[in-house]
Amino acid sequence: MSRTVDVLIIGAGLAGLTAADQLRQAGHERAAWQSEAAGPVRQADIPRQAGLDGAAWQPDSVLVLEKSRGVGGRMATRRIGEAVFDHGAQFMTVRDPGFARAMAGWTKSGVVAPWFGDKNTRYRGQTGMTALAKQLSQQVDVQLSARVVSIAIQTEARAPGAAGTARAAESAQASGAADPARAPGTQAAAAQVSATHSGHSQVWQVLLESGEVILARSLVLTAPVPQSLAMLDAWDSSGKGAGGKGVVAAVLDPAVRARLEAVTYDPCIAVMARLENRSAIPSPGWLRPRSGPISWIADNQAKGISPVPSVTLHAAPDFSRAHWDEDPRELGEQLLARAASDLGSRVLEFQVHAWRYSRPTTPLQTTIRSATDGSLRGDLAVSSGQPANALAATVAGLPVVFAGDAFAAPRVEGAYLSGRAAARLLLSLPPQPEPHPGSGA
């Protein structure tokens, strides 16, 4: 049986988790059937609503899908024995006032800590860069190892109308599914996305590699742009594996598609090496070579995340691109040899990770425009002309928001700002036409 959520977010990096957390704070519920902490959920406890091909539906629910076994995306931390490595994003900087407030809270709670810099402090995760993502994921529902095969539109579904939405919400509260700790007044915000799309007779259909199908009223794509486009393009028009009848391809407006295809990224080959002794890298534990194949070296022990000597090397973009298809082991040995004088210690073991989409080189700076008919047109916006930090579009009347650092700024803060913007775009959608006759109970 298919499952339906109000908002489906693909990608559990900082942008996706921030979007989910912002929606949670606005009153959206966790998808009960994905809550491991609460233990098994009986089907009878899940509020149901007629329509959507009989799919189980929980009102105002948000679900995050992540193809990997852990959260964080490029905010990645890995262990080799006792050694700990940040092998993706190395630190966080703060410019935006909202991100500054969030960083202050994370610092106070011990999730992040200053690493270096006086005027422009660089922050690290207390136990590694993935610590922040893990903290955010505790508040929202994330389904790990959920690789998306294709994204399409199911056209024969019937979404519940406003009356059905209200009764389902009342049922959820009566059954205890609703969060009793929700702040007063958030119920109205929580119902906003549901009410917005109650008039549509189609939903997003997301097919997972496991064969599971998830239906959603709204979609947020936070993977690197080429991967997001590939998921939209992967639907097989023959219907094989994607549910043929009543399912059509999700075709973006050509102008929106062209803007997305213009986004490019630098690759990065990362080397994680466990050392015999402390490295020769001076405190506070980082180097940025001015030339050569290496762009960054970090001492994870001096950084404060590894109990034993360990270093992370990032190859320069040009080197990574030129040697992308070569043997990873040989590349690791070559880069470690070039860094030998800086390491100052024998390498006991190492691993290599290749980031195909390491850093956006042509971020998509969007500004906000409002459509005269109240619909989404490419990138949503307000009349102030401020950066939107996310790109919203509609396909067959269904909203999809593209988010990530490529839409704001090529740094951790950019991912946060884009995730926050994605949530705000969804919550600000104008009301849609009333439900079709018979679409609501």
| Mean pLDDT computed over 308-323 | 99
- Residue 53: pLDDT band (50, 70, 90) is very low
For residues 91 and 238, state if they share a domain.
no
Residues 322 and 269 in one domain: yes
Q: How confident is the model at residue 5 (pLDDT cuts 50, 70, 90)?
A: very high
- Same domain, yes or no: 349 and 405: no
Q: How confident is the model at residue 88 (pLDDT cuts 50, 70, 90)?
A: very high
Are 9 and 157 part of one and the same domain? yes
pLDDT of 111 over the 50 cut:
yes
Residues 18 and 101 in one domain: no
Q: Is 440 inside any structural domain?
A: no
Tell me the residue range of the domain where 177 lies: 3-67+146-262+364-427
pLDDT for 387: 67
Can you tell me the distance from the alpha carbon of 91 to that of 51, in angstroms, rounded to the nearest whole number?
A: 47
Pick from 139, 133, 176: nearest CA to 34:
139
Number of domains in the chain: 2
Q: What are phi and psi of 430, to 5 degrees?
A: -70, 155
Please indicate, yes or no, if residue 369 is contained in any of the structural domains. yes
Over residues 113-136, mean pLDDT: 96
Q: Look up residue 98 and give its two tokens.
A: 């909202």
Instruction: Name the percent of the chain lying above pLDDT 70.
Output: 71
* DSSP state letters, 182-238: PPTTHHHHHTHHHHHTTT-S-EEEEEETTS-EEEEEEEEE-S-HHHHHHHHH---TT
How big is the chain, counted in residues? 441
Of the two residues 262 and 181, the one the predictor is more confident about is 262
Overall average pLDDT of the 273-296 stretch: 97
pLDDT digits over 202-232, tens only? 899 999 999 999 999 999 999 999 999 999 9
390 and 258 assigned to the same domain: yes
Residue finishing a domain among 326, 360, 394: 360
DSSP 110: T
Residues 180 and 218 in one domain: yes
Give the per-residue pLDDT at 50: 29
Average pLDDT, the chain: 80
- Per-residue pLDDT, 430: 57
The CATH number assigned to the domain holding 42 equals 3.50.50.60
Q: pLDDT band at 27, cuts 50/70/90? A: confident
Residue 42: is its pLDDT beyond 50?
A: no
Angstrom distances, CA of residue 167 to CA of 98, 160, 241, 273: 36, 10, 34, 57
Last residue of a domain, one of 345, 360, 375: 360
The yes-or-no verdict on residue 89 having pLDDT over 80 is: yes
**Residue where one domain finishes, among candidates 360, 376, 410:** 360
CATH code where residue 301 lies = 3.90.660.10
Residue 190 forms part of a structural domain: yes
- Considering the domain boundaries, does residue 434 fall inside one? no
* pLDDT exceeds cutoff 80 at 383: no
Shared domain check, 369 and 396: yes
The pLDDT assigned to 371 comes to 36
Do 31 and 166 share a domain, yes or no? yes
For residue range 128-179, what is the model confidence (pLDDT) as tens digits?
999 999 999 998 999 999 999 999 999 864 443 333 333 333 333 333 333 3
**252 and 161, same domain (yes or no):** yes
User: What is the reported pLDDT for 52?
Assistant: 33
Are 269 and 342 within one domain?
yes
Looking at the structure, do residues 162 and 240 belong to the same domain, yes or no? yes
Q: With 80 as the cut, is the pLDDT of residue 433 above it?
A: no
pLDDT attached to residue 237: 54
**Domain assignment present for 432:** no
